[in-house]
């Protein structure tokens, strides 16, 4: 991929796990008997002794070489420093109100995955599922019903990529993945890696906008807040709300964000990728519009599927207002600026970007 040297599990331990940089994406687990995922931490049981390993090569915190990954995914380096390579940005939502009602916002992800499955673009999708809408565990969905069971945002980390490996063993055809930035980055690194033989099974990658996720330690806290009541939805409304909201059958519980920040994964603090820049299609909220999504189309494959979904009336598109787009870009750049400054100060060197871009973003 680049001049970056692929290393083994000892280096993963030293550079990522020991520094608390693991985002629990699952990219290093389910590959060998030596690494387990334990409560939001990848744990090295024993170094395997290999000097080069998939665990290191796929890890989105071991190294991310942005120029190389851009060229691998998009064929060229990015022009948009705020949102990453993209073909178009729009508002979109699932046409069926039934889909939207069970979804977090506009239901675009559920609708797109279902469309891709039903048209045979993919044969299975790896998604995050929740039994109680608090915790999250990865699952392989193969039909509409299974996709809808996964609707709604989960705020506790989920080792989705570990399930992608499982899917490559189980599924004969193409596999779609819905994931956060670190997870989609890991899957892209897996596709780009010389070490992976099953990568050609990976199809559509739908990326979720993401600012941070909770460690599983948050589970007990949330459970205590909620008691036995059934949780309907968990949400962090866009700024300036600054609250964490739990909607149960009976009531709406609001907690100041500062109270739950301690549960945020340290690995999220060094993430520069809010809008999931290596996905085929990225999906997020639209500020102030609860039943719509912001959709960034990044690749030709992504564009084709979205267009197909629009054509058959599964997805309803709308232009994104100029001020909303500007706001999104500004939010993303602000984050990049903070992360680049902080990681440089703390000598965390997983990220490789062009010097001139770094200069443009920071100044």
Name the one range near other proteins by CB under 8 A: 44-52, 63-71, 149-157, 240-248.
44-52
Residue (41 or 289) nearer to other proteins, CB: 41
- As measured in angstroms, the least distance from the Cβ of 38 to other proteins is 4
Question: How many residues at the interface with other proteins, by CB under 8 A?
Answer: 19
Q: Assess contact for 72 and 1: CB atoms under 8 A.
A: yes
DSSP secondary structure, 265-334, as one string: -GGGGG---SS-TTSSEEEEEETTEEEEEEEEE-SHHHHHHHHHHHHTTSEEEEEPPHHHHHHHHHHHHH
Residues 13-42, one symbol each (x = binds other proteins by CB under 8 A, - = not), give -----------------xxxxx-x-x--x-
* CA separation for the pair 170, 349 (Å, rounded): 36
Residue (14 or 354) nearer to other proteins, CB: 14
Of 16, 25, 44, 187, which lies in the binding site for other proteins, with binding defined by CB under 8 A? 44
Of 48, 81, 199, 225, which lies in the binding site for other proteins, with binding defined by CB under 8 A? 48
Which of the residues 267 through 326 are near other proteins (CB under 8 A)? none
- As measured in angstroms, the least distance from the Cβ of 197 to other proteins is 9
- As measured in angstroms, the least distance from the Cβ of 217 to other proteins is 12
Which of the residues 91 through 120 are near other proteins (CB under 8 A)? none
Residue (197 or 345) nearer to other proteins, CB: 197
Helix axes 355-362, 322-345, angle to 10 degrees: 110
- As measured in angstroms, the least distance from the Cβ of 49 to other proteins is 6
- As measured in angstroms, the least distance from the Cβ of 43 to other proteins is 5
* CA separation for the pair 146, 141 (Å, rounded): 5
**Cβ atoms < 10 Å from Cβ of 221:** 16
Of 43, 232, 245, 325, which lies in the binding site for other proteins, with binding defined by CB under 8 A? 43
Which of the residues 52 through 91 are near other proteins (CB under 8 A)? 53-55
Residue at token pair 């596999």: 175
Q: Assess contact for 255 and 289: CB atoms under 8 A.
A: no
**Cβ atoms < 10 Å from Cβ of 140:** 17
Of 1, 50, 325, 329, which lies in the binding site for other proteins, with binding defined by CB under 8 A? 50
Residue (165 or 272) nearer to other proteins, CB: 165
Residues 162-201, one symbol each (x = binds other proteins by CB under 8 A, - = not), give -------x--------------------------------
Conformational region of residue 145, where left means phi above 0, alpha means psi within -120 to 50, and beta covers everything else:
alpha
Q: Classify residue 287 as exposed, middle or buried by CB count within 10 Å of its CB (0-12, 13-18, 19+).
A: middle
Structure tokens that stand for 298 in this block: 């990044």
* CA separation for the pair 58, 43 (Å, rounded): 16
Name the one range near other proteins by CB under 8 A: 48-56, 96-104, 200-208, 256-264.
48-56
**Cβ atoms < 10 Å from Cβ of 248:** 18
Residues in contact with other proteins by CB under 8 A are 30-34, 36, 38, 41, 43-46, 48-50, 53-55, 169
């Amino acid at each position: 991929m680049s001049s970056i040297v692929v290393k083994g599990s000892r280096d993963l331990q030293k550079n990522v796990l020991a520094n608390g940089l693991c985002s629990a994406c699952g990219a290093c687990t389910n590959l060998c008997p030596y690494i387990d995922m334990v409560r939001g931490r990848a744990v090295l049981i024993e170094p395997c002794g290999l000097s080069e390993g998939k665990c290191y090569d796929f890890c989105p915190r071991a190294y991310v070489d942005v120029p190389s990954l851009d060229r691998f995914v998009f064929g060229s380096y990015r022009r948009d420093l705020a949102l990453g390579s993209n073909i178009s940005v729009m508002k979109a939502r699932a046409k069926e109100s039934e889909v939207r009602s069970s979804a977090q916002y506009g239901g675009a992800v559920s609708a797109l995955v279902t469309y891709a499955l039903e048209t045979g673009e993919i044969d299975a999708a790896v998604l995050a599922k929740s039994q109680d809408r608090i915790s999250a565990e990865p699952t392989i969905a193969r039909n509409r019903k299974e996709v809808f069971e996964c609707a709604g945002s989960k705020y506790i980390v989920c080792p989705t990529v570990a399930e992608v490996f499982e899917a490559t063993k189980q599924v004969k055809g193409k596999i779609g993945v819905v994931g956060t930035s670190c997870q989609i980055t890991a899957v892209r690194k897996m596709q780009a890696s010389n070490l992976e033989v099953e990568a050609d099974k990976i199809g559509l990658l739908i990326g979720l906008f993401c600012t941070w996720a909770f460690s599983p330690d948050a589970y007990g806290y949330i459970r205590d807040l909620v008691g036995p009541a059934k949780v309907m939805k968990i949400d962090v409304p866009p700024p300036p709300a600054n609250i964490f909201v739990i909607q149960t059958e009976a009531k709406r519980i609001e907690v100041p964000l500062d109270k739950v920040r301690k549960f945020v994964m340290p690995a999220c603090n060094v993430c520069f990728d809010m809008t999931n820049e290596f996905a085929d299609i990225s999906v997020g909220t639209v500020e102030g519009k609860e039943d719509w999504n912001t959709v960034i189309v990044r690749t030709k494959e992504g564009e084709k599927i979205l267009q197909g979904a629009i054509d058959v009336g599964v997805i309803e598109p709308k232009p994104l207002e100029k001020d909303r787009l500007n706001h999104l870009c500004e939010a993303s750049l602000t984050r990049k600026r903070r992360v680049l400054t902080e990681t440089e100060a703390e000598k965390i060197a997983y990220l490789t970007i062009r010097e001139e871009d770094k200069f443009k973003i920071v100044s």
